[in-house]
Amino acid sequence: VDSWFEEKSYHKQLALRVKIKSVLHEEQSQWQKIEVLDTHALGKLLLLDGKTMVSQVDEFIYHEIMGHIPNMILPHAKKVLIIGGGDCGIVREMVKHPNLEQIDLVEIDERVVEVAKKYFPECTSGMSDPRVNLKCIDGVKFIENQKNQYDIVIIDSTDPEGFAEGLFSAEFYQKVYDSLTDEGIMMNQTENPILDEFGIEKIYHHMRSVFPIVDAFTAPMIIYPGVYWTFGFSSKKYKAAQLHPDKESWLAEQNLNLKWYNSDWHRGANKLPNLVKSKLGI
């Protein structure tokens, strides 16, 4: 008998359905249910509380976007904070930037990192870099007393529910703003703007209430509800498509094996359609 996994979207009007080869891992951590499935179409698939997080066929899209956009704008960035992100895919992309001196990963659930190390070693390869520090605590608490510390803050969270809900509030964005240096950039995953299950207008309203420059990038994420995904960009000084020429020539000389990110894509991906512009207030 064929076995299928189905993830219903938040309001349960739409589902992703994928045929399973086998269940590789299943546990209940202190924070959530962690599962790894082996599938025909998506390769290995990480689920948290039954929701798709990372698949082997499209993880590079999300991780390259979050890892490279801010670094291509800030050539002298030194300190990065990633909140969430326990699969470690963004860390893998961050360590490719030699200007970075410190990369702090603040993931509430250390079991996610352990499970990722076992089943998604291609994602966790950056964790052995000496610049990387893993802190297993709540990002909402961690950000409280960080003033003028980070050049880049990435919020790689689950959906705005339960212990991740606090990562989408105006108070939280204010604390991220305070934790950033004068040229600082925050990027966050901001859901699907068409299905719009979590109130994207409100999320961007909160971002705009704190940051002078708010913009977004869009890309397809096969495993997330509705596929079309937004990545928020909030900045104190530089615009979303303001790539630094030094960084562009550096990238052109490197062989980083990127499957998604390039500077043309960067410039084009934040030219947004009308519906998205009006919802996001851009």
Site for ligand SAM, rule CB under 6 A: 31, 48, 53, 62, 83-87, 106-109, 112, 138-140, 156-158, 163-164, 166-167, 189
Contact call for residues 172 and 165 (beta carbons, < 8 A): no
Q: Active site residue: 109, 156, 159, 215, which one?
A: 156
Nearer to ligand SAM, 16 or 167 (CB): 167
DSSP letter at 95 equals T
Nearer to ligand SAM, 64 or 156 (CB): 156
Q: How far is the CB of 85 from ligand SAM (least distance, A)?
A: 5
156 is catalytic: yes
Q: How far is the CB of 84 from ligand SAM (least distance, A)?
A: 3
DSSP letter at 14 equals -
Nearer to ligand SAM, 159 or 241 (CB): 159
Tell me the residue number closest to ligand SAM, measured at CB.
84
DSSP letter at 125 equals G
Amino acid at 5: F
Q: How far is the CB of 28 from ligand SAM (least distance, A)?
A: 13
Q: How far is the CB of 25 from ligand SAM (least distance, A)?
A: 14
What phi and psi values does residue 78 have, to the nearest 5 degrees?
Answer: -115, -40
Nearer to ligand SAM, 140 or 153 (CB): 140
- What is 130-156 written as a DSSP string? TTEEEE-S-HHHHGGG--S-EEEEEEE
Cα angle value 142/147/148 (rounded, 5°)? 125
DSSP H stretches of helix in the chain:
59-73, 89-94, 110-119, 121-124, 139-142, 170-179, 200-210, 245-253, 263-269, 274-280
Give the Cα separation of 41 and 6 in Å (integer): 13
Q: How far is the CB of 226 from ligand SAM (least distance, A)?
A: 13
Cα dist from 256 to 116, 137, 247, 262, whole Å? 22, 31, 13, 11
List active site positions: 156
